[in-house]
Chains A and B, each alone.
Chain A
Amino acid sequence: MNVTETPAESSVGEAPGEPAAADSAERVRRRGDDSAVLRMSDTEAAEIGGDPRTPDHDQRVLLNMGPSHPSTHGVLRLMLELEGETVLRSKPVVGYLHTGMEKQGEQLSYLQGCTNVTRMDYASPLFTELAFSLATEKLLEIEIPERATWIRMLMCEFNRLASHFLFMASNGMDLGAVGMMIYGWREREEILRFFEKVTGLRMNHNYIRPGGVAADLPDGWQYDVARLLEIIPPRLEEYDKLMTGQPIWRARLQGVGAMAPEEAVALSATGPLLRSTGVAVDLRRDEPYLAYDRVEFDVIVGTYGDSYDRYAIRLNEIRESIRILHQILDMMPPGDYRVQDKKITPPPRARIDESMEALIHHFKIFTEGYKVPAGEVYAAVESPRGELGVYMVSDGSSHPYRMHVRSPSFINLQCLPHLMQYGLIADGVAIISSVDPIMGEVDR
């Protein structure tokens, strides 16, 4: 860790502690030294810290947290300006996992694209596949079969469970409830086992593809789903016992990292981070994609916008997803699992042996890909972390001309300095955890 000190001349107006309550959205609009965001490059920080001639330095310390700190969920680095244990300003430094996936997306055909985007948010890969597929389907102007729609919903809701269980595990561990780590992984493992049965893989499934899904549900899937829906609710009761009602848990989270709804909206936050402030926005309800307008569920919102609300929202979203899954189990229609369009869907393996046309189609789809009409479109889905959108520009060829992913973690991360300001550094750990960033998606 780098420990440096800032000179007195960059003195900030306010002392640690809550500033006088002004217009709440005004706080996030500040540009100068009174902003919560430490707008300073590494070079500047090193210059300030490395100058031994600064005569009267105050108690302010610049401290690097991460990029491989256990509480930063991968490779997030935070530059913190501390006074004692109080965080004054901070800056999330990202990019350590940047692998140019948007550039890569331009080299891959639409069929290969899902293999690429599924690696962005590795805790909920099906959502990126879904957003990518929805955008492609909008450009192609195709309707997918009803069963494919419901299979997508089934898999996505299970993925939301898996992702929220991962949050429960890591959030518990970050706060010292180390046993929670085991319980969260246990539940997630049950779901990943189901995923493995359906898609063949535990993560990075490449299962949802433009035109439908890769394979139909296996025989007896109803029993697996019913079993999962039976074992998960009692385990949530265990979570309540272990965490929700515990005084230590509450003391650790309540009032920590609070945010006003105006601030969250101004900072473009989405997902549980926005809903914790009381703004009831959920794309599943507000702009229903797939068949979400045919299932019943509630949008969970918080009141105080603190870390505890974000924990409670996710816990209750698990319950709502289970409610949705029960309805999906009852309403799953029969039919095709992918669109029967020879230009988009590869022929079944058996057909290739007997039909020359099938062989040609298969060859064409996998070498050249299918052409998508020129145009531009934005498709968004509600991922466990917020609004996940894909903005796609096509030039009429078989590769996207531009494929941009609006990743919720990346945008939500800019709320972090505002959540952490004037809090303790130990609370910072709780706040990072409650924002639940997935760095693969932040850096892409």
Chain B
Amino acid sequence: MSGQPDEAEPDGGDDVVSRPESLTRYGAPLTHSHGQVVIHPTRDTWLEVAESARVEGFDHLTDITAVDFLTYEAGRDLPDGVEPERFEVVATLSSMASRERIRMRVQVPEDDPTLPSLFDVWPGSETPEREVYDMFGVVFVDHPDMCRILMPDDWVGHPLRKDFAIGRIPVQFKDEGMRR
């Protein structure tokens, strides 16, 4: 962190967020978050934007995850024209050649939690997409093997959703019914 040359970094986003309509990349609105580039495709343009990002040199799909904004009380930092939905799927891309990074964030509604799979663009999306399905219940359409990965196959519910209660087993220090 210290001693790192960040002249080239576009500085954090207040002034950028205030005029988001002037900035797009691959046809998707572009914002900055703590110096990191974020684009906001829609579900319809998700695959298209991903494909053009790959063609532009973002050949490495570093990460896919999701966020459930059900109980989020602070304001959502979305540019104009992007409707906030309950789920947000976040994909981090990097370019092996230029070492740039870009983050794609797409809104996925609660009543139809589906999203096209990125498998045909980056086959590395296979297990992270399964993890997102397992944890959030977002179904990736056209994924080669859409099933649970971390939880057992017969598990009910998706643990990282905000309305999935954390199970607690009460600690019993003394149990009358138990012998020994």
- Judging by beta carbons under 8 Å apart, are A401 and B150 in contact? no
Q: Which chain B residue has the least Cβ–Cβ distance from A410?
A: B127
Residues of A near B60 (CB, < 8 A) are 265, 268
- Asked if A103 meets B159 with Cβ closer than 8 Å, knowing A94-B149, A266-B122, A389-B62, the reply is yes
- Asked if A391 meets B124 with Cβ closer than 8 Å, knowing A107-B166, A377-B33, the reply is no
- Judging by beta carbons under 8 Å apart, are A389 and B74 in contact? no
Interface size on B, residues (CB 8 A): 52
Residues of A near B160 (CB, < 8 A) are 102-103, 402
Question: A144: which of B2, B33, B101 is its contact (CB, 8 Å)?
Answer: B2
Question: B34: which of A107, A290, A377, A380 is its contact (CB, 8 Å)?
Answer: A377
- Asked if A28 meets B2 with Cβ closer than 8 Å, knowing A98-B151, A378-B36, A391-B63, the reply is no
Residues of B near A396 (CB, < 8 A) are 73-74
| CA of A289 to CA of B103, assembled, Å | 19
- Judging by beta carbons under 8 Å apart, are B77 and A287 in contact? no
Residues of B near A144 (CB, < 8 A) are 1-2
Whether A5 is near chain B, meaning CB under 8 Å from some CB there, is no
Among A37, A267, A377, A380, the one with the most B-chain Cβ atoms within 10 Å of its Cβ is A267
Whether A411 is near chain B, meaning CB under 8 Å from some CB there, is yes
Q: Which of A248-278 contact B (CB under 8 A)?
A: 265-270
Whether B47 is near chain A, meaning CB under 8 Å from some CB there, is no
Report the minimal beta-carbon distance from B168 to chain A, rounded to whole angstroms: 10
- Judging by beta carbons under 8 Å apart, are A413 and B34 in contact? no
Whether B163 is near chain A, meaning CB under 8 Å from some CB there, is no
Whether A31 is near chain B, meaning CB under 8 Å from some CB there, is yes
- Asked if A37 meets B63 with Cβ closer than 8 Å, knowing A103-B160, A289-B4, A411-B124, the reply is no
Whether A12 is near chain B, meaning CB under 8 Å from some CB there, is no
- Asked if A391 meets B2 with Cβ closer than 8 Å, knowing A95-B149, A100-B159, A102-B160, the reply is no
Whether B99 is near chain A, meaning CB under 8 Å from some CB there, is yes
Whether B61 is near chain A, meaning CB under 8 Å from some CB there, is yes
- Asked if A139 meets B34 with Cβ closer than 8 Å, knowing A41-B147, A268-B60, the reply is yes
Whether A441 is near chain B, meaning CB under 8 Å from some CB there, is no
Report the minimal beta-carbon distance from B71 to chain A, rounded to whole angstroms: 8
Question: B123: which of A266, A376, A410 is its contact (CB, 8 Å)?
Answer: A266
- Asked if A266 meets B124 with Cβ closer than 8 Å, knowing A149-B1, A377-B33, the reply is yes
Whether B16 is near chain A, meaning CB under 8 Å from some CB there, is no
Report the minimal beta-carbon distance from A380 to chain B, rounded to whole angstroms: 8
Residues of A near B103 (CB, < 8 A) are 378
Report the minimal beta-carbon distance from A280 to chain B, rounded to whole angstroms: 9
Among B12, B63, B149, B152, the one with the most A-chain Cβ atoms within 10 Å of its Cβ is B63
Report the minimal beta-carbon distance from A141 to chain B, rounded to whole angstroms: 8
- Asked if A443 meets B150 with Cβ closer than 8 Å, knowing A144-B1, A374-B75, A395-B73, the reply is yes
- Judging by beta carbons under 8 Å apart, are A95 and B150 in contact? yes
Q: Which of A375-408 contact B (CB under 8 A)?
A: 375-378, 380, 387, 389, 391, 393-396, 401-402, 404, 406
Q: Which of B125-180 contact A (CB under 8 A)?
A: 125-128, 131, 135, 144-145, 147-153, 159-160, 164, 166
| CA of A405 to CA of B140, assembled, Å | 21
Q: Which of B50-75 contact A (CB under 8 A)?
A: 59-63, 65, 67-68, 72-75
- A216-248 near B? 1/0 per residue, CB < 8 Å: 000000000000000000000000000000000
Report the minimal beta-carbon distance from B166 to chain A, rounded to whole angstroms: 6
- B88-131 near A? 1/0 per residue, CB < 8 Å: 00101000100101010000000000000001101111111001
Residues of A near B59 (CB, < 8 A) are 265-266
Question: A411: which of B74, B128, B144, B151 is its contact (CB, 8 Å)?
Answer: B128
- Judging by beta carbons under 8 Å apart, are B1 and A377 in contact? no
- Judging by beta carbons under 8 Å apart, are A268 and B4 in contact? no
Question: B96: which of A265, A402, A411 is its contact (CB, 8 Å)?
Answer: A265
Residues of B near A443 (CB, < 8 A) are 150
Q: Which of A281-337 contact B (CB under 8 A)?
A: 281, 286-291, 293-294
Residues of B near A411 (CB, < 8 A) are 63, 124, 127-128
Whether B81 is near chain A, meaning CB under 8 Å from some CB there, is no
Question: A103: which of B124, B126, B166 is its contact (CB, 8 Å)?
Answer: B166
Residues of B near A268 (CB, < 8 A) are 60-62, 122, 124-125, 128
Whether A87 is near chain B, meaning CB under 8 Å from some CB there, is no
Q: Can you spell out 10 A-B residue pairs with CB atoms less than 8 angstroms apart?
A: A35-B144, A94-B149, A95-B149, A265-B60, A266-B124, A267-B124, A268-B125, A375-B33, A395-B74, A443-B150
Q: A94-B150, A270-B62, A380-B62 are in contact. List 14 more A-B contacts (CB 8 A).
A: A103-B160, A141-B12, A268-B125, A281-B99, A288-B4, A293-B4, A293-B5, A375-B33, A378-B36, A389-B62, A389-B63, A391-B90, A404-B63, A406-B63
- Leading 3 A-B pairs by shortest Cβ distance: A268-B124, A39-B145, A374-B74
Which residues of B pack against A, CB within 8 Å?
Answer: 1-5, 12, 33-34, 36, 59-63, 65, 67-68, 72-75, 77, 90, 92, 96, 99, 101, 103, 119-120, 122-128, 131, 135, 144-145, 147-153, 159-160, 164, 166
